Amino acid sequence: MKAIVRHKYGSSDVLALEDVDVPPLEDDRALVRVHAASVNALDWHLLRGLPYLVRMSEGLRRPKRSSMGVDLSGRVEAVGKNVTQFRPGDAVFGARDGAFAEYVAAKEEKLVLKPANVSFEQAAAVPVAGCTALQALRDKGQVQPGQKVLINGAAGGVGTFAVQLAKAFGADVTATTSPRNVDLVQSIGADRVIDYTREDFTKGGQRFDLILDIGGKRSLFACRRALTRTGTYVIVGGPSGRWIRPMDRAL
């Protein structure tokens, strides 16, 4: 099969289209023919091997794995004898290392059935960004109906999911974005959109029950001023660096 691979860290110039073996079908896996795959910030970090901290698990001098990509959608071609949730022909989407290939073999807990009204391309854009937004709001932020929520950096993959999920949870959503994306963020349900080139949400006087900070360009101290006394601050990403950033904010 064909697959996008890399054998060293670097820019997109190190990527190559090569012939590789179709992954073996193990008893607890489903073999999926990939229809669509999406690119995330995660892929960019792994491609470059930056921040250097990621190389502790991915390989110090060169990547341990040549495969690339995580998010995918496609159709099940075959299933192992222990797989019970899927059968050949099922349309699925999910996350599996090596998604930039014609086939992947994934454990069934890494896949879900694709809704009929969602395209393969749309489904492939969901797993990493959508799950990150859901975990940040529901699991870490414990968002509640009626809360005032700020999404800082609302026009990217995680941000667009976060705005819609926060609204689905019943929150009042304020979102920050650049001027060119104001209409986009309004269209997905934000109650108020702040153009961050014109207004600093940390100085506006409004207080939020939950801040989901995706952009990471405001100091932690400044963001604290924008929280209610019992407010929650959740960090997702931030400015990149060569050594540990954006992980330093979480640390």
153 phi and psi angles, rounded to 5 deg: 100, 65
What pLDDT sits at residue 237?
A: 73
Over range 32-52, report the average pLDDT: 90
pLDDT classification of 93: cutoffs 50, 70, 90:
very high
What pLDDT sits at residue 245?
A: 53
Over range 158-170, report the average pLDDT: 98
Into how many domains does the chain fold? 2
CA distance linking residue 53 with residue 48, whole number of Å = 12
- Same domain, yes or no: 140 and 240: yes
pLDDT classification of 86: cutoffs 50, 70, 90:
very high
What pLDDT sits at residue 218?
A: 77
The residue among 125, 119, 200, 205 whose CA lies nearest residue 160 is 125
- Same domain, yes or no: 93 and 174: no
Over range 2-30, report the average pLDDT: 96
What pLDDT sits at residue 246?
A: 52
pLDDT at 242 over 70: no
CA distance linking residue 182 with residue 205, whole number of Å = 21
- Same domain, yes or no: 199 and 93: no
pLDDT at 30 over 80: yes
End-to-end Cα separation, the chain, in angstroms: 41
Range with lowest mean pLDDT among 1-5, 54-58, 247-251:
247-251
Query: DSSP letter at 109?
Result: G
- Same domain, yes or no: 116 and 133: no
Domain of 217 in residue numbering reads as 129-250
* Residue 181 CB contacts under 8 Å (≥ 6 apart), including other chains: 154, 155
What pLDDT sits at residue 190?
A: 98
- Same domain, yes or no: 147 and 117: no
Q: Give 130-197 as a 3 state SS string.
A: HHHHHHHHHHHCCCCCCCEEEEECCCCHHHHHHHHHHHHCCCEEEEEECHHHHHHHHHCCCCEEEECC
Residue ending a domain, choose from 122, 156, 186: 122
- Same domain, yes or no: 56 and 166: no
- Same domain, yes or no: 69 and 149: no
pLDDT at 169 over 80: yes
- Same domain, yes or no: 165 and 236: yes
Looking at residue 112, which CATH number applies to its domain? 3.90.180.10
- Same domain, yes or no: 90 and 188: no
Looking at residue 204, which CATH number applies to its domain? 3.40.50.720
Is the Cβ–Cβ distance between 150 and 226 less than 8 Å?
yes
- Same domain, yes or no: 184 and 133: yes
CA distance linking residue 102 with residue 33, whole number of Å = 6
CA distance linking residue 210 with residue 175, whole number of Å = 12
What pLDDT sits at residue 146?
A: 98
Over range 135-142, report the average pLDDT: 97
pLDDT at 251 over 50: no
Residue ending a domain, choose from 105, 122, 139: 122
In single-letter form, the type of residue at position 191 comes to D
Range with lowest mean pLDDT among 23-32, 50-59, 77-86, 95-104:
50-59
Residue ending a domain, choose from 122, 148, 174: 122
